[in-house]
Structure 1
Amino acid sequence: MMMKSDLYNLVFSYIKTIPKGKVATYGLVAEALRAKRRGINGHLVGWILHKNDSSMVPCHRVVDRNGRLAPNFAFDGAKEQRRRLQVEGVTFVDDMHVDLERHLIKK
């Protein structure tokens, strides 16, 4: 049985593999991890990332399935998430949505 801390570490380890300039969706993260953790879903990934308090985990690189930024991004809201992504070269289709055609990681 996987402990809560193991699940957090599994998610955080995967998030660290998302390259600068790319994003993943909560669902894509869950899909990538299902072989190691049955039952994981995008909502659980989002909940875990919301609990993250380490700036070493680039959780700003995870968006919803439509490319929308997290209004409650753990490190000072969507404006800060957008700023961090822009620094990495990520472009947007509007104020709140990443251009997924250009920046979504491949499965």
Structure 2
Amino acid sequence: MEPMNPFQERVLEVVESIPPGKVMSYGDIAEYLGEGGPRQVGRVMSTWGGGVPWWRVVHSDGTAAAPDHERRCLDQWREEGTPLRGERVDMRKARWDGRSADSKK
């Protein structure tokens, strides 16, 4: 595996900083960093994201990022008190803007 580049490191730093009970979408992370896009963030997460709280990164509609990990995500979200709508994250209540632990975008 190739070494991480600065963009990859920044993506993982953002993910590590998302507070429990909050989430960001792939696009939110790219926008926050001011570079890349949802696909680039997704590639970083699929390659390097196992060591960070990956369940806090979701699709923009609040669904789990990895379909094969939906149950694990749901368990983590419930454990952390993440606001849900059924089996997906309530993005209006759970979206984190990168500034404060209780922010709403």
Match for residue 32 of structure 2? Answer: 32
Matches within 5 A, 1:72-83: 72=67, 77-83=69-75
User: What TM-score, normalized by structure 1, do the two folds share?
Assistant: 0.78
Instruction: Give the equivalent residue in structure 2 for 1:42.
Output: 38
Q: Does 1:23 align with 2:23?
A: yes
* Structure 2 equivalent of residue 104 of structure 1: 95
Q: Does 2:53 align with 1:51?
A: no
Structure 1 runs not aligned, ≥5 long: none
1:58-106 C-alpha deviation (Å, 9 max, x unpaired) = 1110111111112346xxx1111111121110132122x2011211113
What RMSD in Å do the two structures reach over aligned CA positions? 1.9
CA distance in 2, matches of 1:79, 1:14: 24
In the superposition, relative to structure 1, how do residues 71 and 15 fare at CA in structure 2: closer, same or farther (>3 Å)? closer
Is residue 65 from structure 1 mapped to residue 60 from structure 2 by the alignment?
A: yes
Tell me the SS of whatever aligns to 2:60.
coil
Paired residues, number: 96
1:85 counterpart SS class: helix
Are the equivalent residues in 1 in contact too, given 2:15–2:53 (CA < 8 A)? yes
- Percent identical pairs in the alignment equals 26
- 1:30-79 alpha-carbon deviations (Å, 9 max, x no partner): 00111xxx4x0011111111112543x11110111111112346xxx111
Q: Structure 2: how far apart are the matches of 1:17 and 1:43?
A: 20
- Structure 2: runs of 5 or more not aligned: 98-104
